[in-house]
Chains A and B, each alone.
Chain A
Amino acid sequence: RKEVEQDPGPFNVPEGATVAFNCTYSNSASQSFFWYRQDCRKEPKLLMSVYSSGNEDGRFTAQLNRASQYISLLIRDSKLSDSATYLCVVPSNTGKLIFGQGTTLQVKP
Chain B
Amino acid sequence: EPEVTQTPSHQVTQMGQEVILRCVPISNHLYFYWYRQILGQKVEFLVSFYNNEISEKSEIFDDQFSVERPDGSNFTLKIRSTKLEDSAMYFCASSEASANLGETQYFGPGTRLLVL
User: B-contacting residues of A (Cβ < 8 Å)?
Assistant: 30-32, 34, 41-46, 49, 51, 87, 91-102
Given known A-B contacts A32-B99, A97-B99, A87 and B43 have beta carbons under 8 A apart? yes
Residue B102 contacts which of A31, A43, A93, A98 (CB distance < 8 angstroms)? Answer: A31
A13-B48 Cα distance, complex, nearest whole Å: 38
B100 close to chain A: CB less than 8 A? yes
Interface string of B41-75 (1 = CB under 8 A from A): 11111001000000110100000000000000000
Q: Are A94 and B48 in contact (CB under 8 A)?
A: yes
Residues of chain B within 8 A (CB-CB) of A43 are 91, 107-110
The A interface, classified by DSSP as helix, strand, loop or mixed, is: loop
Residue A46 contacts which of B101, B106, B109 (CB distance < 8 angstroms)? Answer: B106
Q: Give 12 pairs: A residue, B residue, CB < 8 Å, sorted on A.
A: A30-B100, A32-B102, A41-B89, A41-B112, A43-B109, A44-B43, A46-B104, A94-B56, A95-B100, A96-B56, A96-B58, A97-B99
| Smallest Cβ-Cβ distance to A30: which chain B residue | B100
User: A-contacting residues of B (Cβ < 8 Å)?
Assistant: 31, 33, 35, 41-45, 48, 55-56, 58, 89, 91, 93, 95, 98-102, 104-110, 112
Residues of chain B within 8 A (CB-CB) of A34 are 104
Q: Are A96 and B99 in contact (CB under 8 A)?
A: yes
A51-B44 Cα distance, complex, nearest whole Å: 23
Give the shortest distance, in Å, between B36 (CB) and chain A (any CB): 11
Residue A91 contacts which of B42, B58, B99, B107 (CB distance < 8 angstroms)? Answer: B99
| Smallest Cβ-Cβ distance to A102: which chain B residue | B42
Residue A95 contacts which of B99, B107, B112 (CB distance < 8 angstroms)? Answer: B99
Q: Are A97 and B35 in contact (CB under 8 A)?
A: yes
Give the shortest distance, in Å, between A25 (CB) and chain B (any CB): 13
Q: A30-B100, A96-B58 are known contacts; what are 8 more A-B pairs with Cβ within 8 Å?
A: A44-B91, A49-B102, A94-B55, A96-B48, A96-B99, A97-B33, A97-B105, A101-B41
Give the shortest distance, in Å, between A101 (CB) and chain B (any CB): 5
